[in-house]
């Protein structure tokens, strides 16, 4: 314990840098993944937002295909994915953000599809009856009702990214993966165990910060009538 406290005291500036970069890597990646997933779900959802020429079967099939591809990306080992991205994007923040974004799409896409599909058709029919078009129904009725489920998907995506971002240090050198990898490569040396502990516990602190943020966001953005 003394070694860990000494490491934190001696390397306080570095630890702060690791925390900031880890947090920002996850924040940027989940923002991009959320936009991609929401656009895909809204376009492919069977709610008349797609062109009239698309049959219901085509829309549903496209939706399942998108979910299948996104879930397949989630199963790729993180070290292998970052290794494949490195020759394309080089070292730095770009391969880390691209890799994390690919991992973050599926939870948001799946929950968005599930949330939109769970809205009572009678509610949508009532909205149609008062003259709302498909876009207004989506923006003012369907998406707000589905929002708690969508937000849960974003939350899961963030938790996945927080852990995988540590592996992303092999190509970016950022986040708590940096002290973790440095400590593991020189395990047994002076201060190496403290580096491993900081690299392991750091993401837990980042995850706790995001969890607190999600509690606040859910409270502020969930329609009062559907709060639980």
Global pTM value: 0.85
CA pair distance 189, 186, nearest whole angstrom: 6
Q: Contact at 8 Å (CB) between 59 and 135? A: no
Helix 56-75 to helix 12-44 angle, to the nearest 10 degrees? Answer: 160
What pLDDT was estimated at residue 172? 81
Q: What is the pLDDT of residue 44?
A: 76
Q: How confident is the model at residue 49, as a pLDDT? A: 46
Q: How many residues make up the chain in this entry?
A: 228
How far apart CA 131 and CA 36 sit, in angstroms, is 30
Domain count for the chain: 1
pLDDT of residue 31: 96
pLDDT profile of the chain (228 residues), mean per 10: 79 90 95 93 64 54 80 89 90 91 94 86 79 77 87 94 90 86 80 86 94 92 68
CATH number for 129: 1.10.3720.10
Structural domain of residue 217, as residue ranges? 2-226
- pLDDT value, residue 202: 92
């Amino acid at each position: 314990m003394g070694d860990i406290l000494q490491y934190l005291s001696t390397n306080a500036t570095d630890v702060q840098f690791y925390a900031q970069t880890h947090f920002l890597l996850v924040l940027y990646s989940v923002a991009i993944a959320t936009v991609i997933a929401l656009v895909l779900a809204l376009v492919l959802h069977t709610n008349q937002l797609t062109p009239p020429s698309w049959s219901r079967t085509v829309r549903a099939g496209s939706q399942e295909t998108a979910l299948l591809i996104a879930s397949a990306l989630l199963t790729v080992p993180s070290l292998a994915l970052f290794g494949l991205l490195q020759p394309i994007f080089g070292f730095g923040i770009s391969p880390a953000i691209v890799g994390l974004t690919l991992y973050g799409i599926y939870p948001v896409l799946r929950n968005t599809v599930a949330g939109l599909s769970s809205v009572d058709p009678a509610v949508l029919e009532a909205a149609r009856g008062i003259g709302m078009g498909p876009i207004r129904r989506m923006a003012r009725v369907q998406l707000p009702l589905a929002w708690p489920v969508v937000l849960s998907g974003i939350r899961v995506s963030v938790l996945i990214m927080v852990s995988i971002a540590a592996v992303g240090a092999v190509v970016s050198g950022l986040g708590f993966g940096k002290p973790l990898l440095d400590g593991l490569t020189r395990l047994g040396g002076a201060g190496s165990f403290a580096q491993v502990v900081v690299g392991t516990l750091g993401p837990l602190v980042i995850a706790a910060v995001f969890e607190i943020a999600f509690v606040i966001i859910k409270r502020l953005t969930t329609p009062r009538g559907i709060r639980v």
